[in-house]
Amino acid sequence: MVELNKNTTIVPVEKPNQLIPMHWFNLVDSEELHKKVDRDVNLTDVFGCLMALQPIEEITVQNIRVEKKRDLKLQNIRGEQVTITLWAETTTSFQEDALQSLSPPVFIVLTSLKVKKYKGKPVLGSTGSTVCIFNPDIPQLSKYKQEFEYLKTSIEILQTSAEKYGKGTIMADSEQKTIEQLLLLDPALNKNTSFVCQATIVDYDLTRGWWYKSCPYCHKNVKNTYGTFRCFEHGPLEKMPESCKHDEGSQPLSTNSAKISAEFSNLVVPKIEPADKTPISALRSKSQTKKIKDMYNELLFTIIYEYANLDNY
């Protein structure tokens, strides 16, 4: 931003020595993004080919406020992609009408972004100063046009969060297992393996309560110490954690989590198990039997091994 005051002097230049560009950005290459993670003193500008776009959606942030959000995917000439999340007003100021009038490939600059890390990769998020500019007049544009001249397909439309996580999509590379088979698996040997299991909920384990007791400031777990709830970061809490149960005559529910909590607290699920299926209690017994058998075999092996070693003395 340039600020003019009473001491500013404006001198016209009839023949400038160099051409003043219409746009100028401090672009950061994707290989350098990891150096910008959580360093927001100087915000980040990026440029690339727009490959995918998500419709605007509303999500609840930290169970406090509802924000508008949409994701973009940009690709550079090396084929590397980066995800950019637009928030709040930036999602609505995105020039969607202008985008629809452009034929692919479409190139875009996004300015004033924050860089975070998600699943080990840098991701970018908008700020209140973020601006989106299509096909900007910059030196990199001509090279990108040459590299992406093959791209004639329309921009991919990404799924919203509700579509992505709300439906029971089954991954193609996931093996289907029954509950009985899952209980017999060794967690250490299947740590990074995905399985698909179709089941019916017949009961809830409420031995530790049905709601999460958290700090009202940081939303982390709190411990009950002699009747006083204590947060690791904020110490003893003056306000005790409360459930989101909705009583008649109280204020209307304002968040999705509160609505779900109210429905859950009034939910009654009959304990019905299909006649042709093994009862859940029997499955637990089989799992426990296997564990006991494994412990017995291990103990027996140890005794035999120690006994065999005694013969060597």
Statement to judge: residues 283 and 263 lie in one domain: no
Which amino acid is it at 161?
S
Tell me the residue range of the domain where 71 lies.
30-164
Tokens of 134: 């299509």
Backbone angles phi, psi at 295, to 5 degrees: -65, -40
> Higher-confidence residue: 204 or 143?
143
Instruction: Please determine, for residue 169, whether its predicted confidence score (pLDDT) is greater than 60.
Output: no
Beta bridge partners of 193: none
Does 303 map to a domain? yes
When mean pLDDT is compared across 141-150, 161-170, 174-183, 210-219, the lowest value belongs to 161-170
Strands 175-176 and 195-196: what pairing? parallel
Is residue 47 domain-resident? yes
What's the rounded mean pLDDT across residues 80-104?
82
Highest mean pLDDT among 47-56, 58-67, 99-108, 193-202: 47-56
Q: Does the structure show a pLDDT above 90 at 293?
A: no
Judgement on whether residues 260 and 282 belong to the same structural domain of the protein: no
Note whether residue 2 is domain-resident: no
Q: How confident is the model at residue 244 (pLDDT cuts 50, 70, 90)?
A: low
Whole-number pLDDT of residue 42: 86
Q: 50 and 144: one domain?
A: yes
What per-residue confidence (pLDDT) applies to 125? Answer: 92
pLDDT tens-digit profile of 112-154? 999 998 878 889 999 988 988 888 889 899 999 999 988 888 8
Asked if 36 and 88 sit in the same domain, the reply is yes
Residue 10 lies in a domain: no
Q: Is the pLDDT of residue 261 over 60?
A: no
**Same domain as 101, residue 146:** yes
Within a domain: residue 142?
A: yes
Quick one: tokens of 67? 């924000």
Domain identity same for 303 and 177 = yes
Give the chain's domain count: 3
Say what the pTM is.
Answer: 0.51
Per-residue pLDDT, averaged over 77-86, amounts to 92
Who has greater pLDDT, 120 or 299?
A: 120
CA distance 95 to 134: 9
Q: Is residue 5 part of a domain?
A: no
CATH at residue 79: 2.40.50.140
pLDDT > 60? residue 61: yes
Q: Which two tokens stand for residue 60?
A: 């609840």
Q: What percentage of the chain exceeds 70 in pLDDT?
A: 70
- Shared domain check, 280 and 177: yes
From the list 21, 22, 81, the residue with the least C-alpha distance to 48 is 81
Secondary structure in 3-state letters for the chain: CCCCCCCCCCCCCCCCCCCCCCCCCCECCHHHHHHHCCCCCCCEEEEEEEEEECCCEEEEECCCEEEEEEEEEEECCCCCEEEEEEECHHHHHCCHHHHHCCCCCCEEEEEEEEEEEECCEEEEECCCCCCEEECCCCCHHHHHHHHCCCCCCCCEECCCHHHHHHCCCCCCCCEECCHHHHHCCCCCCCCCCCEECCCCCCCCCCCCCCCCCECCCCCCEEEEECCEEEECCCEECCCCCCCCCCCCCCCCCCCHHHHHHHHHHCCCCCCCCCCCCCCHHHHHHHHHHHHHHHHHHHHHHHHHHHHHHHCCC
Residue 84 has pLDDT above 90, yes or no: yes
Who has greater pLDDT, 109 or 175? 109
313 lies in a domain? no
Summarised one tens digit per residue, pLDDT across range 13-27 is 887 777 777 778 889
Please indicate, yes or no, whether residues 135 and 57 belong to a single structural domain of this protein.
yes
284 and 255 within one domain = no
Q: Are residues 61 and 107 in the same domain?
A: yes
Question: Does 220 lie in the same domain as 151?
Answer: no
Query: Residues 112, 89: contact at Cβ < 8 Å?
Result: no
Q: Inform me whether the pLDDT recorded for 109 exceeds 90.
A: yes
Q: For residue 23, tell me if it sits in a domain.
A: no
Shared domain for 197 and 226, answered yes or no, is: no
Q: Is the pLDDT of residue 175 over 60?
A: yes
